[in-house]
Structure 1
Amino acid sequence: MSAIDLAVIGGTGIYRLAELNQAQARHIDTPWGAPSGPLRVGRLGQASVAFLARHGEGHALPPHRVNYRANLHALKQAGVRRVLALNTVGGITQAYGPRVLACPDQLIDYTWGRESTFWDGEGEPLHVDFGHPYTPALRDRVLAAARAAQVPVVDGGCYGATQGPRLETNAEIARMRRDGCDLVGMTGMPEAGLARELDLEYACLAIVANWAAGCTDAGEITLAEVLENVAAASSGLPGLIAHLAAG
């Protein structure tokens, strides 16, 4: 297959990339099963861009049921080199309130029981270097694309990946704050680690949908509020992604 300049993985509230021109669906079988849905491949300007809805195009897959291995392997099979992950998250520290876009540079994994490696028990396991979980060069390009598109993005922060699908308790968020987390989400791992095993460049744009538990006196978080905040924070993404794909 011909190379794809950029793949975008969409999270909660982002199930398609409407700006893709001449988009065609690719149904890819992988050694790890079926990905979350078809790979939608089209053009953004002169660049070839692919889009994959992490939870499925109808949001049928909760975070702990996503086949992350199939998703990443499908992108690799399609000729992808660079991956921009869009992750809908909660904000923990002051700079990461609702409707903020952030490009984190660190990650803490609190998930459990997920298939987190491509090693299947045969041969020697691959111990990848994961000190910098997001590819620094791609992060720089994401931030440059944001500046070019005039989209405000917070540079840096630590993403805490929790198991889900339930939201966290106040005490869990307090612990994560003590651990140094700025953001909390349910899909950051094992996705980032699997991308590293496949030697894919990988960066995250975290879309803050709400304050995490105990971080505000507001009432219960509603899905309507989450989706409204995601839509508002995502308004500048098409321009940012276009600049990134062209870079």
Structure 2
Amino acid sequence: MSAMNGIDLAVIGGTGLYRIAELEDVETLQPDTPYGAPSGPVRVGRLDGRRVAFLARHGEGHSVPPHRVNYRANLAALHALGARRVVALNTVGGIGERFGPRVLACPDQLIDYTWGRIATFCEEPGSEVLHVDFGDPYTPSLRRALLAAAAAAGVAVVDGGCYGATQGPRLETRAEIARLRRDGCDLVGMTGMPEAGLARELGLDYACLAIVANWAAGAGPVADEAITFQDVLDNVAAASSGIAPLLRRLVA
């Protein structure tokens, strides 16, 4: 199987999402890019006969923290393999009342609170200067396709919401979450940017499927409840059962 013939969909997996078990005839690729190596190997296989690529954003052993992810290399590698649609799986905390643990959501807006990350392909001297439109940070047509696929698969997905992208790798204080709530954020994660902006610069269709792993600090019915990494993994595993059926519908 030659991955250079193009793929129907690329999926980037977040915390707790290190592979798509349903992929068949998987080929493992170790691409390099002008921006360095991606977070790990790209697994290209077939899902119901359609070609799908998967890349674990943090590496398959969760060895790359969010502020050290080579977002440019990840997207450049998928683009070079022929991907034109990218679904980002992001593990997040819930702020708004509709976004409790184990909820799947497809946000439509984004606020970037990160700092110090290389956020553009215009970084190197001589690069073309791109001023891309980013009013809708997630491609509306791919969002609609994701929601339609979820409905067809019988998978509940919340339509809309604002993703607040924070620096990490630490979780946020209660005061920070209160600020995000005032700013209009419904979800909080550490990897939404610069990934979405870079995808726009490459002309990729890009949408986020957020997996709510926990209530953010001070949110939810038990405001002082501590968050453990095991709770995050357990909730992601439970919520992820609907992802493969949804992706099958999407590529079909």
Matched, 1:222 2:225: no
Instruction: Tell me which residue corresponds to 2:149.
Output: 145
Q: Aligned equivalents of 2:177 and 2:224: distance in 1?
A: 16
Instruction: Tell me which residue corresponds to 2:247.
Output: 241
Displacement after TM superposition at 1:182 (Å): 0.1
Across the two proteins, how many residue pairs are aligned to each other?
246
- Look up the equivalent residue of 1:188 and give its one-letter code: G
Matched, 1:203 2:215: no
Which residues in structure 2 correspond to 1:1-247 (within 5 Å)?
Answer: 1-119=4-122, 120-215=124-219, 216-246=222-252
Displacement after TM superposition at 1:86 (Å): 0.2
Displacement after TM superposition at 1:122 (Å): 1.5
Which secondary structure does the structure 1 equivalent of 2:241 belong to? coil
- Look up the equivalent residue of 2:211 and give its one-letter code: I
Displacement after TM superposition at 1:245 (Å): 1.3
Of stretches 177-186 and 237-246 in structure 1, the one that deviates more from structure 2 is 237-246
Q: Aligned equivalents of 2:134 and 2:165: distance in 1?
A: 15
Q: Aligned equivalents of 1:19 and 1:75: distance in 2?
A: 20
Which secondary structure does the structure 1 equivalent of 2:105 belong to? strand
Q: Aligned equivalents of 2:68 and 2:128: distance in 1?
A: 27
Displacement after TM superposition at 1:123 (Å): 4.5
- TM-score scaled by structure 2? 0.96
Q: Aligned equivalents of 1:185 and 1:13: distance in 2?
A: 14
Is the Cα–Cα contact under 8 Å of residues 121 and 127 in structure 2 kept in the other structure? Answer: no
Which secondary structure does the structure 2 equivalent of 1:236 belong to? helix
Displacement after TM superposition at 1:219 (Å): 2.3
- TM-score scaled by structure 1? 0.98
Evaluate the alpha carbon distance shift between residue 26 and residue 123 of structure 1 in structure 2; reply closer, same or farther with a 3 A threshold. closer
Evaluate the alpha carbon distance shift between residue 124 and residue 50 of structure 1 in structure 2; reply closer, same or farther with a 3 A threshold. closer
Q: Deviations over 1:113-162 (max 9, x none)?
A: 00000111324410000000000000000000000110000000000000
Q: Aligned equivalents of 1:217 and 1:194: distance in 2?
A: 35
Q: Aligned equivalents of 1:184 and 1:14: distance in 2?
A: 17
Is the Cα–Cα contact under 8 Å of residues 153 and 245 in structure 2 kept in the other structure? Answer: yes
- Look up the equivalent residue of 2:242 and give its one-letter code: G
Which secondary structure does the structure 2 equivalent of 1:145 belong to? helix
Unmatched tracts of structure 1, length 5 or more: none
Q: Deviations over 1:14-53 (max 9, x none)?
A: 0000000001101111000000011100000121000000
Q: Aligned equivalents of 2:65 and 2:152: distance in 1?
A: 34
Q: Deviations over 1:196-238 (max 9, x none)?
A: 0000000000000000011133521011111111011111111
Unmatched tracts of structure 2, length 5 or more: none
Q: Aligned equivalents of 2:108 and 2:225: distance in 1?
A: 30
- Look up the equivalent residue of 1:153 and give its one-letter code: V
Which secondary structure does the structure 1 equivalent of 2:12 belong to? strand
Which secondary structure does the structure 2 equivalent of 1:76 belong to? helix
